[in-house]
Amino acid sequence: MKFRLYATALFFILFGINACQTDDSIPSQPFVIAFDKLSYDFSKIEDIQEIKLVFSEKAKTSGSVVVRLTPIDATYGTDFSTLPIAQDNKVEIPFQAGQETLSFTFKNLIFPFDNDTKSIEMEVIEIRYDSETSIQGYTKSVISFERSIGAVVFPEVGGPNQGNQVFIDLSTEEITTARRDSWDLGFYGGDAFRVTINGSLYMAVKQLESTNIDAVTQSSVQQFLATVAVGTFDPTNENYIDNPNGHLDQTAIAEISDTPEDNKVYLVNMGYTVGTSTPPVGSVAVAGDPRGWKKIRILKQGEGYLLQFADLNSATHEEVSISKNEAYNFTFFSLATKNIVQVEPEKTKWDLSFTVFTNIIEGAGSYGYSDFVLNNLKAGVKLYRVNTSVKPYADYSFSDVNDASFENDQRVIGADWRDVFTGGAYTDRYYIIKDIDNNYYKIRMLGFLNDSGVRGYPKFEYQLLQ
């Protein structure tokens, strides 16, 4: 499923306002109104778009906010209009006591578009209100055909069971969500013949000596059932998972050979179902019941793959042909439903993924992590970390970017961004990302709990460096 990204500004982050202050000796904070998004994609507004503004607190009295419009290569009334109607390129939007947000309507009058040079800059220039006011945070937003200049994002991973994998394209602000138990194997669409396993379910595989899938039974592999698994605290179990760095040449399943006899049968630990229990507040329950075992064998078939698969004790097997699709990193297949399934967007249309993940603990082998963040390394998306002691997030600009610092690893953010003991995001670090189109963004994680302290509600913000 695809959703447009509609993020709500976090005033306690953006404006430095402590919403928990109750001490009468602490001065009251000014009333702040700001845009909830930094930008809107003109090309996706076929008719109308609600432009939302958010308040730092509920309005105590009625008032209004004045937004100035600055058209660039665009004309009010010909290319676009607003409701309320603008006067002298200014829109005044009223609000009432008790409101926490307001919006005005932008109407596109030129769909389909005659050119992509038009844009409209919007700026909060005045707040008419009885109490002290301040113009802070996202005071400007723009409607254009350009890439996103930033937003605050709330990936919907599915609460403490974290049943979803979420893929985010920063430049277009699009999110794709897939159930993480919808697939088991991913077949690479590029030049190499590689197959990945679903680490979000804690799957593990072991290559056997046999090339006859029908001859493999539970009794013939009994000695491996206790060790081909994630979380055994045996360092050798690293051999049964894809290398978590994301390098394609280090998958647990060897590269598929041109020589059929070289393609062995694999014992497959199917991992665990997505958890369904409700854990204590602040905890997770990502792993449910064991999914059992399968056996597979993969061969080349022309320019694609031939997958053989069966239950462990089956004397026969099934086969399915899987074609390559170069537009995607992988074509995904479910051994449970025996179908090809859609999971990731096209490889050029996502940058970050939020997921449960199988990582490695040095000296203890493979281990499962929740709240994990991956970058799309296979398509060339790379990051590096910056410590706030070197430069604060707010001060980091395009001139500070160091291309030599980008890491060849998909786990730069990983799980190191969150403190599971305090329930918050570490504030001493942020990240620089370079996407496929050479856009540079800075990203900082904001948390992973909801207002009730429940896990599985991550949030982050990012801004374009230009």
SS (H, E, C) 57-80: CCCCCCEEEEEEEEEECCCECCCE
- Residue 280 DSSP label: P
230 within some domain: yes
Contact 152, 7 (CB under 8 A): yes
Whether 302 is in a domain gets the answer yes
| pLDDT of amino acid 18 | 37
User: How open is the CA angle 465-153-10, to the nearest 5 degrees?
Assistant: 90
Instruction: Tell me the three state secondary structure of residue 435.
Output: coil
Quick check: helix, strand or coil at residue 24?
Answer: coil
Do 21 and 126 fall into the same domain?
yes
For the stretch 197-233, pLDDT in tens is: 999 999 999 999 999 999 999 999 999 999 999 999 9
Task: Report CA-CA distances (Å) from 28 to 18, 53, 57, 133.
Answer: 10, 21, 11, 11
- Asked if the structure places residue 305 within a domain, the reply is yes
Give how many domains the chain has, as a whole number: 3
Q: Tell me, yes or no, whether 363 lies in a domain.
A: no
Cβ count near 281 (within 10 Å): 13
* The predicted structure's pLDDT at residue 148: 87
Query: Which is nearest to 46 in space by CA: 109, 124, 104?
Result: 109
Q: How far apart are CA 253 and CA 241, in angstroms?
A: 8
Domain assignment present for residue 312? The answer is yes
Shared-domain flag, residues 459 and 337: no
Q: Which amino acid is at 300?
A: K
How far is C-alpha 346 from the geometric centre of its chain's CA atoms?
Answer: 14
Tokens of 189: 């669409």
Asked if residue 74 belongs to a domain, the reply is yes
440 alpha-carbon distance from chain centroid: 17
Same domain? For 221 and 282 the reply is yes
Q: By C-alpha distance, which of 273, 315, 269 is closest to 292?
A: 269
- Residue 139: give the domain boundaries: 2-146
Are 50 and 96 in a shared domain? yes
- Would you say 44 and 4 are in contact if contact means Cβ atoms under 8 Å apart? yes
| 135 in the same domain as 25 | yes
Are residue 200 and residue 161 in the same domain, yes or no? no
Are 52 and 112 contained in the same domain?
yes
Cα dihedral 275→346→116→5 (10° resolution):
0
Angle at 270 between CA 269 and CA 271, to 5 degrees: 95
Q: Which two tokens stand for residue 247?
A: 């390098």
* Same domain, yes or no: 157 and 79: no
**Predicted TM-score (pTM) of this structure:** 0.81
Same domain, 279 and 354: no
The list of the chain residues with pLDDT below 50 reads 1-27
| Beta strands 140-144; 39-41: pairing state | parallel
Question: Is there a single domain that holds both residue 157 and residue 114?
Answer: no
Contact 145, 42 (CB under 8 A): yes
Rounded CA separation 236/433 (Å) = 33
CA distances from 243 to 299, 366, 432, 450 (A): 22, 10, 23, 32
**Strands (DSSP E) found in 208-302:** 265-269, 272-274, 287-290, 293-301
